[in-house]
A and B are shown apart, each in its own frame.
Chain A
């Protein structure tokens, strides 16, 4: 499992018309650690969870997500974007331990 941390899968429709608004789905493997509790009190230690996702399309940021541990383990995100041109859709995740995870898919227009 831990070897897979930060593995990202991006899904976009296979056939996209120029200018069409389409939806993408992004899966990322991450434990999203929650706070341990001992005797009802939170344990003060370092917790590893994703706190940011940044989506770039054609080199421009189109979406940013700031998140907390109230997002699930191995989370899936969805978002819309207008496929104005063929080109790269890049997704970057940052976690609280300094991890940076990135994946890119090519948006192809039909």
Chain B
């Protein structure tokens, strides 16, 4: 579970349930990236990681995002995690998906909250540890007051 430290692990939630200390830290995106991936190499791979987002979001409170990674989903070779990060949110990490070969296809989606116009990154961590990244810029007309 490399990179797991970035998200509230269950024991941490129980110890300080719901208080600020149990939330993701407010931090610049560079700190989030360092916390999650350290100095590991990250390849820009917009052709392998297809990140689908609107160019303009009227309402930052609900922005539909989908990501599909062109990768096998076999026991030997699959996409283990997909991280979604909104650069300009106060707490940039939106979600971490943990996938399994049983999905058959590395496709996930969610509705994001974006505080303002921002670049959004999808980072796929393959089962061999390779990190692949795609980025998209989203113009937000009315911010979603992103936590």
Contacts and interface: CB of A to CB of B under 8 A. Distances in A.
A44 B107 contact: no
A11 interface: no
Interface stretch (B11-19, B41-49, B124-132, B133-141): B11-19
Contacts of B61: 72-73
A76 to B, nearest CB: 5
Interface residues of B, number: 47
Interface string A64-82: 1111111111111111111
Given A62-B103, A63-B98, A63-B103, A68 B110 contact: no
A68 B94 contact: yes
A79 B69 CA distance: 12
Contact of A21 (B7, B104, B110): B104
A76 B104 contact: no
Interface in B80-98: 86, 89-98
A46 interface: yes
Contacts, number: 143
A77 B110 contact: yes
A60 B91 CA distance: 32
A5 interface: no
Contacts of A73: 61-62, 113
CB-CB nearest 3 A-B residue pairs: A69-B147, A82-B104, A78-B109
26 contacts: A45-B18, A63-B97, A63-B99, A63-B100, A65-B95, A65-B110, A66-B8, A67-B94, A68-B23, A69-B23, A69-B24, A69-B146, A69-B147, A70-B91, A70-B113, A71-B110, A71-B113, A72-B61, A72-B63, A72-B113, A74-B62, A78-B108, A79-B103, A80-B104, A80-B105, A81-B102
Interface of B: 7-8, 13, 17-20, 22-24, 26, 61-64, 66, 73, 86, 89-100, 102-114, 144-147
Interface of A: 21, 23, 25, 32, 34-35, 42, 44-49, 51, 57, 60-82, 96-98
